[in-house]
Each structure stands twice: as C-alpha cells, then as structure tokens.
Amino acid sequence: MFMINLEEIIEARDRLREKSPLVHAITHPIAINMVANVILFMGAKAICAAHPEEVAEIVGMSDCLSVSLGNITSERMVAIDEACHAANGKNIPLTIDMVGVGASTLRYKFANKLLSKYKFDLIKGNASEIRALASGASNAKGIDVGKADELKGANIEKISMKACELAKKYHTIVLVTGKTDLVVGENSYFTIDNGVENLSKITGTGCMLTAMISSFMAVTDPVSAAICGLLVMEIAAEKIDTDRLYTFFVNLMDEISLISNEEISKKAKVREIKF
C-alpha cells in the first residue's frame, strides 16, 4: 500500500474552473443532456458535436475529447473514427468509454479497430467490458456488468490483471468501474471504495463520469483525472443519497458543483497496490 497526495489531485477542480477548457464529448442521445450539463457545472465548456463532416474541425478547437460506444449508430461510428484521428493529430487527451463491448459483436470489433489505430490516454469500462477487451469473453448482461464479473472478493485481483494487460498493450490507463473502482496502470493500480448503489440505478451516470474525467484530463494527468472524477461524483452521491431516485439525480447534479475539496479529501477511500 502506498500513499498519494489527494489534496493535489483534487485541486484539479480549481484548475478546471480557472482554465475552463472546451470539452468535446461524442456521446449518445440517452445521456447527452446530462453529459453537457455536468461539464458546465464543473466550470468547463461543453460541445457534443457528432456529425462526421464537422467533428475534426471541432476537435481542432477543443482541449480534450471523449467518445462513447453507447447506443451506437453507423453515423456516430464514422464520427468517432474521424474525431479520434484528429485528436491524435492535435495531441490532446483522448478517452474512450467501452459501453456494450461485452454484449455486441459490432461494438467489440469497432472498439478493437479503434484501439489498433489510435492512442487513447484512458480506456473506461465496467468489469465485463474490460474482460471482453482483454480476453474476448465476458459475462456481460447487456451494457451492465455480469454477476460473475462483479468487482468484489477475488475478482478484484483477477480483473485488475486483465486491465493491466490492456494498459501494457496499449500504453494507457484503464478505469474499471464497479462497487470498487480500479484505476489501472502498467505497474500498479488504485482502488476507490466510495459511492452508493443508487448511482447504478440512474441511466447516464457512467457517461457523466466519463465526461468529468475527460474534463479533468485537460488540466492534469489521466490517473489523477480518473481518481478526481470518481471521488467528486461518488462522494457527492454519498452526501445526498436518498431512496427518491429522481430527487437523488437532481441533487447529485447540484452537489457535483457544490461539494468542497475538503469534504472530498476527508471522505476519500483510495489506496494504491503494486503488481
């Protein structure tokens, strides 16, 4: 176990507000409003352009790019390919959310095509999605993690090793989301044990997290961005948790912008483990 400087990581929130970077998020219509608003609530600027004929131009003026395979369409696949090419050409941070690669052959093949062509600074997915990318098989239940892949007990070490394989193969950081979240590099990984069950009951919270992390990547490194994004969302959720799900969602959006750095630092449950 190793210590990290949480205060320094969380200060990325202040730098984000000061810089107010333009965050280009190619997401899907189920989550697009939530994604754009959470970027704005954190103090950045949002654009969600997804037309193949304009995405490269938009990337050219952006400070970071995140792409999601959620609710995929043929047009968005073309747009994602064009945007990733432009992002690598400009050398801006690039994040991909591997939604559904454990459930759909189309998404699995497309994801691997993108990974073979472009450099991603962070790959995000649940345990089933990461297992599918690493081994070609998973226990995915639609876009959700399968019970046999859940991040608990011995599975944490097993999935962390699969994520490490991807991190080494693509020289990237891999974020595995779950009850325990894993931020995995080539030599070590972080566990984050914050959050509440209600986050999994609201559609789009995973896409919000992707946008938050991508925003932080405009002002800090991928590992710090991932940890900061997770802590902001999950500790905000702990603070306002309620059995009224829509109230929970509305209050979560507020609390993401209102919660203090001090509260986050005090409640964070983070540790680093060396391979």
Going by the annotation, the residues of the binding site for substrate are 204
Neighbour tally for 260: CB within 10 Å: 10
**Annotated binding-site members for ATP:** 124, 177
Q: At 35, list the tokens.
A: 């994604």
* Strands (DSSP E) found in the chain: 22-26, 45-47, 64-68, 94-97, 122-126, 173-177, 181-184, 188-192, 270-274
Q: State the Cα–Cα distance between residues 243 and 203, nearest whole angstrom.
A: 16
The single-letter code of the amino acid at 141 is K
φ/ψ of 68, rounded to 5, equals -125, 140
Buried b (16+ CB within 10 A) or exposed e, 97-133: bbbbbbbbeebbebbeebbeebebbbbbbbbbbbbbb
Are 164 and 184 in contact by the 8 Å Cβ rule? The answer is yes
Q: State the Cα–Cα distance between residues 67 and 129, nearest whole angstrom.
A: 15
Q: State the Cα–Cα distance between residues 251 and 1, nearest whole angstrom.
A: 34
Cα dihedral value 30, 58, 232, 183, nearest 10: 90
**Annotated binding-site members:** 124, 177, 204
Are 70 and 28 in contact by the 8 Å Cβ rule? The answer is yes
Are 66 and 222 in contact by the 8 Å Cβ rule? The answer is no
CA distance from start to end of the chain = 11
